[in-house]
Homo-oligomer: A and B are copies of this chain.
Amino acid sequence: MTEDVIAARARALAGALTEAGFARLRVRDGDIEFELRRAVQPGATIPAPVPPVATDAEKPSARRDDLVASDVVGIVRLTRPVVVEGLDLDGDRELAYVETLGIRNPVRSRGAGRITAVFVTEGQPVEYGQPLFAIER
Contacts and interface: CB of A to CB of B under 8 A. Distances in A.
Contact of A12 (B6, B25, B33, B39): B6
Contacts of A14: 16, 20-22
B22 A12 contact: no
A84 B16 CA distance: 37
A25 B10 contact: yes
Interface residues of A, number: 44
Contacts of A28: 31-34
A11 B16 contact: yes
Where chain A touches its partner, the secondary structure class is: mixed
Nearest to A47: B21
A44 interface: yes
A66 to B, nearest CB: 19
A23 interface: yes
Contacts of A22: 10, 14, 17, 36-39, 45
A43 interface: yes
Interface of A: 1, 3-4, 6-40, 42-46, 48
